[in-house]
Amino acid sequence: MKTQTTIALKFLLIMTVLTGVIYPFFMTGVAQLTFRAKANGSLIIKDGKIIGSELIGQKFDSTIYFWSRPSAIDYNPIPSGASNLGPTSDKLKKQVSERRILFATKNTITDTTAIPSEMLFASASGLDPHISQKAALLQVDRVAKARNFNIVEKQKLVQSIEDLTESPQFFVLGEERVNVLILNLELDKLHQNVTINK
């Protein structure tokens, strides 16, 4: 009996060291060597400061920026989650109606059925950093007007959206999408260049 207990304790100790220390350190080392940016959270750095992550959506509600997908948790990554409101919920219907009216009004859209669903419904995590290319293009007129862009500058903005559009993952998973934070950073760069060139 004592021998079996000793063997069990030794096995527990070996497995604890192996799976609790060696394996995590090994995987961390491999990740840091091969996928450093992703392993560290795909952080975005501007002027030496971390301003966000490619994986976490941020709140943009100013007319001079492209808007993100709505969030049931106000883009707070700590309690990541959805509203849990079902399709028969009056509260959900009211939220969607308000979002539809706001998006249509601010972006001068007459056909509200053309508004992509991701601009009306929050994601399951509340932190989705992407919108569809269509949702981005629908916001171009508002952003260009708010920044006083001329026709050429507006075309550059549309081209930026085209350039930043990501393909479906592994060519089959998901749809084409645009990362809102990265797009807004490019927008700021474009605006700076425009100001300098004027």
Q: Are residues 8 and 96 in the same domain?
A: no
| Residues 62 and 86 occupy one common structural domain | yes
User: What is the pLDDT at residue 2?
Assistant: 67
Longest dimension (CA), the chain: 87
* Rounded Cα distance, 40 and 152, in Å: 38
The conformation of residue 119, written as its DSSP 8-state character, comes to G
Query: What is the rounded distance in angstroms from the CA atom of residue 141 to the CA atom of residue 154?
Result: 8
Angle of helix 180-197 versus helix 151-164 axis, rounded to 10: 150
Backbone angles phi, psi at 91, to 5 degrees: -65, -45
Same domain, 56 and 16: no
The H or E element spanning position 51 is: strand 49-53
Query: What pLDDT was estimated at residue 195?
Result: 47
Residues 6 and 83 in one domain: no
Asked if residues 133 and 163 have their Cβ atoms less than 8 Å apart, the reply is no
pLDDT at 193: 61
Q: Are residues 52 and 97 in the same domain?
A: yes
Contact present, 65 and 188 (Cβ < 8 Å)? no
Domain shared by 33 and 52, yes or no = no
Asked if residue 98 and residue 4 are part of one domain, the reply reads no
Q: For the whole model, what pTM was predicted? A: 0.79
Written as six digits, the tokens of 149 are 């862009």
Number of domains in the chain: 2
Q: What is the pLDDT of residue 194?
A: 53
Residue 148 and residue 127 in one domain: yes
Say if residue 31 is in the same domain as residue 18: yes
Q: What is the mean pLDDT of each run of 10 residues along the chain (198 residues)?
A: 84 93 89 77 81 88 95 88 88 94 94 91 91 96 94 94 91 89 93 53
154 and 192 in a single domain? The answer is yes
C-alpha closest to that of 107 among 67, 56, 49, 48: 67
pLDDT given for residue 114 in this prediction = 87
Q: What is the residue range of 150's domain?
A: 43-197
- How far is Cα 109 from Cα 81, in angstroms, rounded to an integer? 30
Shared-domain flag, residues 47 and 36: no
- pLDDT of 198 reads 38
Residues 138 and 168 in one domain: yes
